[in-house]
């Protein structure tokens, strides 16, 4: 079962390997011929791939040319710089949002809770207001104002006569003037109106 294997190298050299069988009870006799096998080796394996490589090379060359053109485009550095700036802005924005959520958001939530509590308090206060009585009082006030207005507009009413009768107005005005003059003279000359003695009347 053992046989010799011939292997051709990449440089044209030839090697021979003796591959032993697993059956150690069989032996070759002196003068027997050892069978041999030819191994294609690395050279023939590579030769089998050469046609495929030749087909791929033009496509590979085209890809490399396109890649080279892309890398030599003057807009590429500007685009990369823009991408870098965008990434930095995103990082800054992310940091700002984190700080807002960590610091400002709890304060805002607390203020909203206070506002909500105040709204509840106001709602409770509104519940305690007797709107029916309040509107009744407002209605009564409006009625009284209307009655006063009607009296002022009624020519036969005392208020209308007081406001629209020139003679009565002049008399009242003269009375007020005389009273004012009398008070002023009393302040200036009290002795004219008040007489008293420390030792009693004479």
What ranges in 72-130 are assigned the alpha helix state H?
Answer: 75-99, 105-128
> What's the whole-model pTM score?
0.25
Q: pLDDT per residue over 65-111, tens digit each?
A: 888 887 777 777 777 778 888 888 888 888 888 888 888 888 888 88
Task: Give, in order, the Cα–Cα distances in Å from 24 to each of 28, 30, 31.
Answer: 11, 17, 19
Tens digits of per-residue pLDDT, 153-182? Answer: 777 766 666 666 667 667 777 787 777 777
8-state DSSP, 157: S
Using CA atoms, how far apart are residues 145 and 149, in angstroms rounded to an integer? 6
Residue 8's H or E segment, with its range, is strand 3-8
The torsion angles phi and psi of 36, rounded to 5 degrees, stand at: -130, 155
Token pair of 82, please? 């823009």
User: Quick check: 133 and 139 in contact, CB under 8 A?
Assistant: no
């Amino acid at each position: 079962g053992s046989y010799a294997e011939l292997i051709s190298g990449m440089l044209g050299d030839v090697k021979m390997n003796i591959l032993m069988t697993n059956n150690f009870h069989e032996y070759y006799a002196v003068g027997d011929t050892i069978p041999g096998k030819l191994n294609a080796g690395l050279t023939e394996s590579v030769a089998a791939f050469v046609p495929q490589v030749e087909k791929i090379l033009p496509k590979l060359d085209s890809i490399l040319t396109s890649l080279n053109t892309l890398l030599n485009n003057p807009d590429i550095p500007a685009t990369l710089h823009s991408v870098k700036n965008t990434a930095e802005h995103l990082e800054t924005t992310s940091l700002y949002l984190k700080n807002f959520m960590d610091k400002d958001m709890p304060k805002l939530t607390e203020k909203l809770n206070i506002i909500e509590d105040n709204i509840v308090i106001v709602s409770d206060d509104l519940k305690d207001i007797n709107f029916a009585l309040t509107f009744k009082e407002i209605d009564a006030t409006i009625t009284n104002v209307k009655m006063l207005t009607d009296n002022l507009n009624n020519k036969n009413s005392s208020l209308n006569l007081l406001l629209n009768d020139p003679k009565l107005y002049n008399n009242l005005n003269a009375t007020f003037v005389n009273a004012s003059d009398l008070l002023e003279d009393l302040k200036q000359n009290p002795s004219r109106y008040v007489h008293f003695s420390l030792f009693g009347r004479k």
